[in-house]
Amino acid sequence: MMQRSTKRISSKKPLQPSKSLPNVDDYQMVLLWSELDNCYIVTLPAWQNAQTHGNTPAAAITNGREVLKLLIESAAKNGEHIPAPERPHSGNLRLRLPVSLHGRLALEAEREGVSLNQWIVSKLSQ
């Protein structure tokens, strides 16, 4: 009589042990105040807009990092897809503008005693 051995085969491929897990800091978190909930809401766009909250911005971000950690670990453990982290922004922006506008902006920055870059950043952040 032949002996049969049975193996349970999962259709999901588990994460290879040698493959490192993404860093939670590489994922985008959107922090907004919610009047309705009277707290800060953190949304995680890469993870189907999963959300968490906190009474302060710091608490909401801490909770967001914890949720991200749990989502990554759970997906890895269960062989599920782990969304790729967003590419971080470099902080550099290339901008093409008419020569006349460039000149006017440079003069305004000079009048205020700052570099053109500092002047543009201050205007964009208002």
Write out the E strands in the chain: 30-34, 39-44, 50-54
Q: What is the pLDDT of residue 66?
A: 97
pLDDT at 105: 93
| C-alpha span between 116 and 41 (Å, rounded) | 36
pTM of this structure: 0.57
pLDDT along the chain (126 residues), means of 10: 40 49 89 94 93 94 95 94 82 88 94 91 84
pLDDT at residue 95, rounded to an integer: 87
pLDDT attached to residue 25: 87
Q: How far apart are CA 126 and CA 120, in angstroms?
A: 10
